[in-house]
Amino acid sequence: MVEVGAVAPDFTLHDQNRQRVALSSFRGSKHVLLVFYPFAFSGICTGELCRVRDELATYEAGDVQVLGVSVDTPFSLKAWSAEQGYGFPLLSDFWPHGEVARAYGVFDEKSGMAVRGTFLVDVAGVVRYAEVNGPGEPRDQEAWKKAVAALS
């Protein structure tokens, strides 16, 4: 897992609209909350990302760009985003399969999916918060908000 204090591995992935999104494009302008999750349309993932959606203003107020990341295709991410009304990019780590999740140490080789990894990257590209939860284990999003507040 990428540790707190390390430079976040850069990447470029396609979002649900097949637009390229690079982590480095936010350097110097916004913090980034990377939310890795196993699969679109699954119960715990939907609950977690709906809460992020409902509390998005909290992150935006802290100059934080939320980026969801999974191994799903952009096409399934687009359908899921439209269904749930997510107002932040969902990035496809589909091919090479799980390459970004591997770089962050949150790829489960046995199941072929990302586990629930959360990383807060500051405007300089340094990881300021890192948490990994196993399959079926929901995250404590209050900890994310505390980490965001500590950046201000």
Domains, the chain, ranges and CATH? 12-151 (3.40.30.10)
Residue 4 and residue 128 in contact, taking contact as beta carbons nearer than 8 Å: yes
Q: What is the mean pLDDT of each run of 10 residues along the chain (152 residues)?
A: 97 98 98 97 93 96 97 98 97 97 97 96 98 87 93 84
- Find out whether the peptide bond into 96 is cis, omega within 30 degrees of 0: yes
**92 pairs with which residues across the strands?**
14, 70
Residue 5 and residue 126 in contact, taking contact as beta carbons nearer than 8 Å: yes
Residue 35 and residue 138 in contact, taking contact as beta carbons nearer than 8 Å: no
- Please give the pLDDT value at position 136: 83
- Please give the pLDDT value at position 90: 98
- Please give the pLDDT value at position 134: 80
DSSP letter at 88 equals S
**13 pairs with which residues across the strands?**
21
Which of the residues are catalytic?
Answer: 45
Cα atoms in the Cβ-side hemisphere of radius 13 Å centred on 22: 4
- Please give the pLDDT value at position 152: 77
